[in-house]
A and B are shown apart, each in its own frame.
Chain A
Amino acid sequence: MGAAPKAIEPAETQVPRRQFLMWLSSVGVVGSALAAIFSTFVFMKPRATYGQPNRFRIGRPEEFPTGARIAIDTKRVCIVRDGDKLAAISTTCTHLGCIVAPSATGFHCPCHGSQFDVDGNVTGGPAPKALPWYLVTITPSGELEVDKDTEIQMGTYLSV
């Protein structure tokens, strides 16, 4: 705009300009609406949860004798120990979220009968995938700490 003083019919210049402004304001309005929807979802998604912490201590290695498979239902993990190898396996069923219980052959879900072997592999029932394993570390004070935010490869043990 604002260049040569050509004699242009006002009507010709004005229609595109109006259209442009119309377009611009539509983009603004639609954009703000989308941003508002998006921020609502961001707001709705909690940054910190008030429930159980996902990192917690479960006691000293001595409390889990070799061969033990001890399910801690409140934390939804099962601590397994075999010699000096120790691991934490999830006890939340991968089917629809019930709590699985240790059984002679591995794990068994009471809700719809999924079966898992001792490592958490599905051996029967509707569960679609294996039970995840979680990272276990030893704190400086010598306690075991489970981190449910970090899944590790099945069969990765902590040496104690």
Chain B
Amino acid sequence: MSTEKKSLWKDLMDLPKNIYRSIFRNPLPASDRGRAATSFTNFFLHIQPVRVNKRTLRPSYTMGLGLISFFLFVILAVTGVLLMFYYVPSTTQAYDRMLDLRSSVAFGVILRNMHRWAAHAMVAVVFLHMCRVFLTGSYKAPREFNWNIGVGLFLLTLFSSFTGYLLPWDQLAFWAITVGTSIAGYAPLIGHQLQFLLLGDATVGQEALLRFYVLHVVVLPIALVLLVAVHFWRIRKDGGLARPEPSELPAPAAVVAPAGEVVAALPARRFAIQGLVKGPLVKVGTLDDDTVFSWPNLLIAELFVLLLTVAGLMAVSLFFNAPLEHPVNVMHPPNPAKAPWYFLGLQEQVSYSAFWGGVGVPAIELLLLVLVPYIDRSKEGVGRWFARQRVWANTLFLTFVLVNIVLIVIGTFFRGANWQFVSPF
């Protein structure tokens, strides 16, 4: 039985290799065919196309803003779950647990800092990503629906950040949420119901803390994950990131379908690539020369953005501590009481007119955001920053952005006690 023994020995020797092979079906790719196979046989990589357009990869085009949003969300999920191991959503304990994070939990401070700064950053970055999508005209057909998925993501991001704001149960949290939910109360007809539903009581208290907690750690993250999944899926099904029409670019390369069969009948290039690796090959180069393989080009770009995001966030979290004010004192509102910064534009508006500032104008702005891809049907100037054909749309949008930023800056820096105008200098 020496042969059997020998093969058992050999199997043992091959064990590591076999385990590795069972997980990673392909060896590190050395050929184009291998690069394609690596992309679509790996669960995490198959979310991406096998090839991407070179324009898509230019850092100056997307600025990686969507990706940074996504990575911040992942960081928030991880640090958030870790914080949950110590946090208690109770008015008598929450604040003490914040102090414990500082004094007796290993890495408590850095985790809390990362979670807090990533939350602020995500609001800002998601907004910037929206600006980039608009200014490059990337919301146009066939991407109207994905733009609106994006609007949903923006709202969810704001609401997640807002619900998290209450959880430390300090003065800042308490009064920001008191003011913030009162703004919601200005909505006609449903306003007070909405406020009551949100708080579970007439004022901010234990019920509100519990409700905000459940929304913050379960409901909103699940909704976000779902919408992000649809968002990414749609990016691929809408044909990758928006690009200028071929007619706007120098001579396009003809798409040559490989020897008959499936591929020839299908319109879009991405199917052709899949058919390609299975079927008899034509030269890949002739297929489309402004695309490159995702492995490794896209992957490296993504890892680079991830690295930058983590490094930036760590740096900020090492040097700046997340604020924690005095514990809640229901009898002593700070003067002035301010909502979280991303709602300060709203609060500033509310101080001019309760209804228009708090409800009317935001509702109109939101409606315009939702409708813009259905109103602006022209196909021109897609896939380029500040295209000349889009000068009107872009100017309008930038005005809207600037007005909101100015309002936020005023609310944040120029409003002091009694909401009087003060100079920060």
Q: Does A112 contact B (CB under 8 A)?
A: yes
Closest Cβ–Cβ distance, residue A98 to chain B (whole Å): 4
Closest Cβ–Cβ distance, residue B130 to chain A (whole Å): 27
- Closest chain A residue, CB of each to CB of B331: A73
A29-59 contacts to B, CB under 8 A, are 41, 44-46, 49-52, 54
Closest Cβ–Cβ distance, residue B91 to chain A (whole Å): 10
CB pair B182 A96 closer than 8 Å? yes
Q: Does B202 contact A (CB under 8 A)?
A: yes
CB pair B335 A126 closer than 8 Å? no
Interface size on A, residues (CB 8 A): 25
With A51-B205, A97-B182 in contact, do A110 and B197 touch (Cβ < 8 Å)? no
Give CA–CA (A78, B71) in the complex, Å.
Answer: 51
CB pair A74 B330 closer than 8 Å? yes
CB pair A126 B201 closer than 8 Å? no
Give CA–CA (A94, B169) in the complex, Å.
Answer: 23
Q: Does B404 contact A (CB under 8 A)?
A: no
Q: Does A113 contact B (CB under 8 A)?
A: yes
Q: Does B164 contact A (CB under 8 A)?
A: no
Complex contacts, A125 vs chain B, CB 8 Å: 418-419
With A99-B331, A112-B336, A112-B337 in contact, do A49 and B351 touch (Cβ < 8 Å)? no
Main secondary structure of the interface of A (DSSP, over half): loop
Q: Does A111 contact B (CB under 8 A)?
A: yes
B327-376 contacts to A, CB under 8 A, are 330-331, 333-337, 347, 350-352, 354-355
- Closest chain B residue, CB of each to CB of A128: B354
Give CA–CA (A125, B201) in the complex, Å.
Answer: 27
B133-191 contacts to A, CB under 8 A, are 175, 178-179, 181-183, 185
Residue contacts A-B, CB under 8 angstroms, 13 given: A46-B207, A52-B202, A52-B203, A73-B330, A96-B182, A99-B331, A110-B417, A110-B418, A111-B335, A111-B419, A112-B337, A112-B418, A128-B354
Please report A residues at the B interface, Cβ cutoff 8 Å.
41, 44-46, 49-52, 54, 73-74, 76, 92, 95-99, 110-113, 125-126, 128
16 further contact pairs, Cβ within 8 A, besides A46-B200, A50-B201: A46-B201, A46-B207, A50-B207, A52-B202, A54-B202, A73-B330, A95-B350, A96-B179, A98-B178, A110-B335, A112-B336, A113-B419, A125-B418, A126-B350, A126-B352, A126-B419
